[in-house]
């Protein structure tokens, strides 16, 4: 049975709210994990080369956790995951640039957005698989 216009708008509103919630969860989680990682790096005197790898791990874990907890509606998990990953990457760039005090548009930003989209794709699929069971 086809949905009427108000049902489609309500579904779209719920999908958008889920995505916003997932992005906010990912941002807060990544801020907390970055603080924890900085503390561990300081205590353990780790090499600065570890920071880039650790940063990508933190981003991917944040996207995964946020998708699993926030994406509850059925269907199109991979699309919503990509959207979460891209939006998170862009907002994380703004937040961490504000904290760091400099904005630089370079290949790193593109790399983060692509990896965010890939993490979001996988995370959205995992979230739908977890919800199915």
Q: What tokens were used for 132?
A: 């199915």
**Helix H segments across 45-105?**
50-70, 77-100
DSSP state of 16: H
C-alpha distance from residue 119 to each of 38, 41, 83, 126 (Å):
23, 24, 10, 10
Which of 115, 127, 112, 24 is closest to 80 using CA atoms? 127
Q: Average the pLDDT over 11-24 and give the result.
A: 91
Lowest-pLDDT choice from 65-69, 94-98, 119-123: 94-98
Q: What percentage of residues in the chain have a pLDDT greater than 90?
A: 54
Query: Domain boundaries in the chain?
Result: 5-132
Q: Which residue would you say has higher pLDDT here, 49 or 120?
A: 120
Which of 6, 3, 70, 60 is closest to 33 using CA atoms? 60
Query: What is the predicted pLDDT for the residue at 2?
Result: 56
pTM equals: 0.88
DSSP state of 106: S
Contact 57, 112 (CB under 8 A): no
Residue 132 clears pLDDT 70, i.e. is over it: no
């Amino acid at each position: 049975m086809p949905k009427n216009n108000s049902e489609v708008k309500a579904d779209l509103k719920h999908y958008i709210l889920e995505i916003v919630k997932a992005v906010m969860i990912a941002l807060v989680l990544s801020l907390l994990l970055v603080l924890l990682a900085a503390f561990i790096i300081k205590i353990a005197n780790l090499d600065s080369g570890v920071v880039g790898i650790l940063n990508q791990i933190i981003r991917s874990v944040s996207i995964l956790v946020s998708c699993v907890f926030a994406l509850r509606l059925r269907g199109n998990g991979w699309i919503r995951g990509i959207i979460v990953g891209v939006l998170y990457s862009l907002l994380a760039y703004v937040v961490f640039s504000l904290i760091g005090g400099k904005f630089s548009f370079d290949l790193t930003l593109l790399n983060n957005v692509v990896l965010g989209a890939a993490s979001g794709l996988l995370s959205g699929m995992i979230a739908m698989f977890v919800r199915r069971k």
